[in-house]
Structure 1
């Protein structure tokens, strides 16, 4: 059975709306699509997210915007929240969570990544203020094109290099932080032009170099976007290695199915597909529809990919194994 047909029977109007448009080719003029849009805007789930958005600081608001965009909300609260985030943007285009004059890090990469991804997801990626943030993001890259977890306040001072990233979030073959690089690529992937840029593709190249196949974290980002898992952390915000999210980013940034690492990843994911064409979420069975929508949409985008990366796969473990005592 066609996946889109199955998803059109889901209880969630957001999932039905997205499946109709992204998998079935429906337009905004279709009567069912119009009815589902009305359901979305009146749903208690959306009302709760909008209420939180109105009271949220920029970091939290950024991810709430991602959630609302994922669920298909297009109401006026989105633009109002985006303007509030822009109001506290730094002169260099970044955002900084600690109050001015406080001790501690001047910024960490994620303090800009999370608000910027929300702004881009809401449809404001090409706003001149967002473009300044993207330029800031490009400016803090390391020499290999990955992103550090934080440049700290001593960034650029002679003789005081940024310390190496912690083992559990270090890139398989790169100088930077896997969490920060994932977040930066997630921002670029939402930009209408920058998603096909060299910066985005090099970032994806670093992420694809890790070849672990962990089914237990498949759909982690989906579970956060629909609110079943908390979105939390700063340097660890994107530390979970989610193969569905990785495929989403790769497909948005124009990686081809002919890329060997992507081809192997798709082959592995196909082994997890159920008898009706759906993927089961390992933790939340009720998310099978959302996870299947994400994966099926990514697979279709890969058909338009035209780029093959250079990084070779590398196995990775979160922590080094300690020697046995006996």
Structure 2
């Protein structure tokens, strides 16, 4: 009974959004100065007033690609929020105490070690830029210390393939959102894609005639072409025919509620986490990477060489794949006995 009420409440909220969002869009066009109560706009450069040339510097001088820019913008917004909360409105007032306070607050278990290290790297670049532009009298970048962590200290967050099946089975494929979510989860589990790679997949990346799937601009800077799995292809076709809203956007996966914009990588992570928890599976930091890790582990258990697995999922270095050896007990035994040279 309680579960039925929750479903009913979610459905009412969804219907409300479907009604309100088009009205808000109409009011924005018809009423001058109308802002509404939608999601607040996130500025591309949260420090536009004091560092207006930052984004141009990152793209033109640092040569950052769009996916890296998203990471930089996310970390910079986190830093801007922190400064606002502690009452710092002038970047010239930045100090070692302020910087160390941000790193201490922005640390595990709230986020992963890799996220903290990325934020530290972004902050260092930002501080060097501020010094170059004369905003800071001294270069404070060396004061940002990377937190001590060990690359292979953690165990990948994989689940068994039977549990992956449970996750997929828990998706209601009768609804439009369910058709979309099922296709996304199939891509994550079958190819070990990253959330951003699913979110940015376009109609042009699927070659139906030759049954090929192309993943462009990967984290390693390369492009990977996969055979299009029959099951994955069927899931995508079902969504395109009976779930995807009418739109001129080329991205495959769209938001269900108007305005129908392409789905973001954070939403892919969130949907994966939702279905993992719905299946009753307990795993640290549930999300899309759990399915990615599970894909890698399945290939490893099938005795594929680590080099081939790394190429398959787009790892930038062999060390990214070698961590899975920590839980490949049977293969480690083969290596110890001298029968597993092809694994390393």
Same fold (TM over 0.5): no
- The structure richer in helix per residue is 2
TM-score between both structures, scaled by the size of structure 1: 0.27
Highest Rg: 1 or 2? 2
TM-score between both structures, scaled by the size of structure 2: 0.26
